[in-house]
Amino acid sequence: MGKIFIAALVGGLVMFMWEFVAHMVLPLGEMGMRQPTNEDVVLDAVKSGFPESGIYFIPSISPEKMQDEAAAKAWSEKSLASPYAFVVYDPVGRDPGAMGPYLGKQFGSDVLAALVIALVMSLGAVAAGRGALVGAGFGAFSTLAVVVPHWNWYRFPADYLVGQGTTQVVGWALAGLAIAFVMRRRRA
């Protein structure tokens, strides 16, 4: 069991380092993200328009009114004539430069995800090439299960889909390669 944890730690570290490259060196992590032309106006509108932390769709309708035919029709017409926004809102400001806690959570998440891959690989002897394929498969799975629905339902931009998908598939392929290498070496 120790080799699985070591492999997960190495795989998580490889993914974490790849994410650094994808976000800080390559444009993958920022694809699809834009800045408003007049940020202060948008911030003032957000502060006055959103009552609490949460995810907001604009234009919106309350779930209770979805069954009201007139309200649903008015929402549909408004949606056709208006721009659309998907906003994650938190009224509490944070220092974007204080990344320590976020980096710690990301690394922990990467190690736990790598542990899942290592556990799957432990079910059979996996050579490095297959490890990369297994990792890429997990990356494709995560993209198809999470990123594609965000693109489909919430209109995340196509370039965001491409950037995140590439980050996931390439990163987990590299991590899978490392996991397989560690597990194979520890077996020998």
pLDDT tens column, 3-38: 899 999 999 999 999 999 999 999 898 888 889 999
**In the predicted model, is pLDDT for residue 112 greater than 80?**
yes
| CA distance readout (Å), 33 to 51, 75, 178 | 25, 27, 31
End-to-end CA distance of the chain: 15
Residues 6+ apart with CB under 8 A from 108: none
pLDDT tens-digit profile of 55-88?
998 999 999 998 999 999 999 999 999 999 988 9
Domain locations in the chain as residue ranges: 2-34+98-187
Q: Is the dihedral of CA 18, 19, 25, 28 positive or negative?
A: positive
Percent of the chain with pLDDT strictly greater than 70: 98
3-state secondary structure of 86: strand
pLDDT, residue 1, reads 78
Mean pLDDT value of segment 109-121? 95
Choose among 14, 2, 4, 26: nearest CA to 132.
14
Mean pLDDT value of segment 142-171? 94
pTM of the complete model: 0.84
**What is the chain's mean pLDDT, rounded?**
91
Q: Kindly calculate the radius of gyration of the chain based on its CA atoms and give it in whole angstroms.
A: 21
**Which residue is listed with tokens 């397989």?**
180
Q: Is the dihedral of CA 2, 167, 90, 104 positive or negative?
A: positive
**In the predicted model, is pLDDT for residue 129 greater than 70?**
yes
pLDDT, residue 116, reads 95
Task: Kindly state the helix (H) or strand (E) to which residue 58 belongs, with its residue range.
Answer: strand 54-58
